[in-house]
Amino acid sequence: MDLKGKCVLLGVTGGIAAYKMANVASALRKLGADVEVIMTKNATQFITPITFETLTGHKCMVDTFDRDFKFEVTHISLAKKADVILVAPATANVIANMAHGIADDMLTTTVLAAKCPKLVSPAMNTGMLENPITQDNIATLERYGFTVIPSESGVLACKDVGSGRLPKEDVLIEYILHTIARPKDLAGVRVTVTAGPTQEALDPVRYLTNHSTGKMGYALARAAAMRGADVTLIHGETALPPVKFTTDVPVTTAQDLYEAVTGRFDTTDVLIMAAAVADYRPVTVASDKIKKKDGDLSIPVERTPDILGTIGPQKTHQFLCGFSMETKDLVENSSAKLAKKNLDMVVANNLKVAGAGFGVDTNVVTFITPDGTRELPLMSKADVADAILDEILKPFLLLFPCKHDADGTGAGVTADGGADVCFPAFLEVAVFLQARFHGLHAAGLRLAGGNEHQPILDVIPVGQTVGDVLAHADGQAAAVFFAHFQLAVDYFQG
């Protein structure tokens, strides 16, 4: 996942953590982003502008009235150029100014003029952060559409212990990636992913498990979240960090996993079973440690619940994707699983193929669907995850490819108000939801109007129709939507 073609504007204010933003700027450049930096005057007391200029290749702006000899208004041009703004560390003073529209320096002036997504990462003394005034200002920013990145807790520079630390650099970058790295073509889709191994206890000390690390399932959860899905990650014990922007549900046994999946199945749209679930468990679990004795030990086992075998015949609107790890007869065994369990897709891989299997960052998979099979080459698990999501969406995407996407957003209305000549991705997904799920839940229907970052339509509430929501949209946006939606209706009916 990269940020090629994206512009990230970093706003650095006068907090002790300002030095960390040099690492953020460097990492963003390595991801391919065009990075611009604006510093407040106080920030220059902690780190010099030349540091950011060296890392980004751009002049670091500080003074609103800097005579840079460009025939443009700098704060306006930066506001238009940015795909996302991150203000970090954000001091109490700058947060207060942004919350109340006070534009008294280059940073706050640019933020006020920008229409792109804005991220704010508060970093300050615990007492300042927890002061009701600061909390009100943060809530005001959220009400105006800013995304506030929670502060971390720990020992602060002032030696106090509490909240107010700037999050680690990789956390800030993850928020940027989530905001702009991928089109939100899964917005409104409720995706459940299972990952990792299960553990079946023998006694208080030992258990039966497998070699799964959860890497494939975690990659799927992250990819779906990056694409706007409402993701629930149900996982066994792993050494992996939590996946941000997901609902985390830890489990231990196959029975735990069965209950977690079946209990959420009615409110799931797409279920991807990437977990390595134990097929058998001990019939009884010893209350004390089983002591070593002479001779062999025999442990009676019984079948664990068949999760896909149970829910496959019960599915209504859900898309079910199973995983199949084999050591021989890959396609034959996986095709049998597809039919037997009433699945829409099976992702199969052979443990004996180099680069596939447990504990590695790559995979070699074969997609098996009712329409046939498709083999993929050796890929990173992150790329495999996106390929799986693309395959899941494929049957529902309309056959109207973008012939002309004027501003590169995939949106039906360009940033300057003109219309793209295409069927936009977010409307494809809207029709997918309407056709597949029959309005059983809030559909993620978005229509950009005037600027791709300011959706006219957000989410259709349960009980409302498309018309109800469009009644509050502007005329041009509604007209563009109806034209595209009619194409969709004609396609599905014809």
**For the sheet containing 319-326, what is the strand order?**
246-250, 230-235, 190-195, 270-273, 319-326, 345-350, 366-369, 372-375
Task: List strand residue ranges (DSSP E) for 341-459, in order.
Answer: 345-350, 362-363, 366-369, 372-375, 379-380, 447-449, 451-457
Interior angle at CA 216, CA 226 and CA 178, nearest 5: 10
Name the catalytic one among 158, 321, 402, 422.
158
Which amino acid is it at 174? E
Neighbours of 29 (CB within 10 A): 16
**Is 60 noted as a catalytic residue in this protein?**
no
Look up residue 383 and give its amino acid.
D
Tell me, rounded to whole angstroms, the distance of Cα 123 from its chain centroid: 24
Q: Give buried/exposed letters for 160-196 (b at 16+ CB in 10 A, else e).
A: eeebbbbbebeebbbbbbbbbbbbbbbbbbbbbbbbb
In the DSSP assignment, the letter for residue 359 is T
Q: With residue 25 as reference, give the H or E element that holds it.
A: helix 21-30
Are the beta carbons of 480 and 414 closer than 8 angstroms? no
Cβ contact 342:310 at 8 Å: no
* Alpha carbon distance 294, 174 (integer Å): 55
> In sequence order, what DSSP letters do the residues of 189-211 get, joined into one string?
-EEEEEESB--EESSSS-EE--S
Contact 110, 9 (CB under 8 A): yes
Half-sphere exposure of 269 (CA within 13 A, CB side): 27
Provide CB contacts within 8 A for 231, sequence distance 6+. 191, 192, 193, 221, 224, 225, 243, 245, 246, 247
What is the distance between the alpha carbons of residues 207 and 198, in angstroms, rounded to a whole number? 10
Between CA 80 and CA 85 the distance in angstroms is 11
Annotated catalytic residues are 158
